[in-house]
Amino acid sequence: MVNGFMRAKILFLSLLMASALSAQVRDSIAKNTVYQGFSGGMMLHAGYQFGRDRNAPVTTDGRSTSPQGANFGIGGALRVHLWKHLRTGFEGFVSTMPSGTTDCRHILQPGSYVRVGCGGVLADCCWRMEKAWPYIGGTIGGGSMKGLYILDGDQNSWSKDANSTFHKQSFFYITPYVGCDYCLTRKVHITFRLDWMLAFHHRELTLPTGPRIYFGFMFCH
């Protein structure tokens, strides 16, 4: 009987605390102190990509190497604004490193590329000033990298090339970033961002790793 009474007491206190917490959350929402709106938009980016692809069939001076060079792409982000500084949401990007921008362009034939698609969950801290919104944060997510390495022939040839390789691998990544929004109007912002992607595959740093710079538009509501 005592145990039953204690269980009933604990259940009553738990329900009371849950009710109080729920009321506090509702009160915060009613006072507009939690949810501050949302924003989303598109960004173009360019960067430098390096790292190691174990399956890249490229050799220089008899040693295996991985293409490194400039990449270009597009993507977007969607954020929910919470409290005074916190923003959280999702983002995704696609980047391509063509053979002509790599350090292996004298070996790789036209049509070779390394393409990356990635997406993840982001969170950042933003300071809302009158015209500028500086922010700092990070993204955690995953993606895949596709590499087409043509060592003989080119993309316009219909012959069967014996020395070409297509490779695909998945990876986990962490990307710290800093940036700033410039407020054109209350609802339209120009955003600038700099980040550094750290990609991991089988517990080792791999392609695609490197810095990127972004420019785009964000629409706030």
For the stretch 37-47, pLDDT in tens is 999 999 999 99
Q: pLDDT value at position 96?
A: 93
Domain shared by 76 and 110, yes or no? yes
The token pair that represents 87 in the structure block: 């923003």
Same structural domain for residues 45 and 11?
A: no
> If DSSP codes are grouped into helix, strand and coil, which group holds residue 98?
strand
User: What is the extent of the structural domain holding 20?
Assistant: 1-33
Question: What is the model's pTM?
Answer: 0.76
Are both 74 and 43 inside the same structural domain? Answer: yes
Higher pLDDT, 87 or 19: 87
Residues 132 and 202 grouped into a single domain: yes
Q: Which residue has the tokens 């550094």?
A: 196
Q: Rounded to an integer, what distance in angstroms lies between the CA atom of residue 119 and that of residue 116?
A: 10
Model pLDDT, residue 116: 93
Instruction: Tell me: do 178 and 138 sit in the same domain.
Output: yes
Tell whether 109 and 211 lie within a shared domain: yes
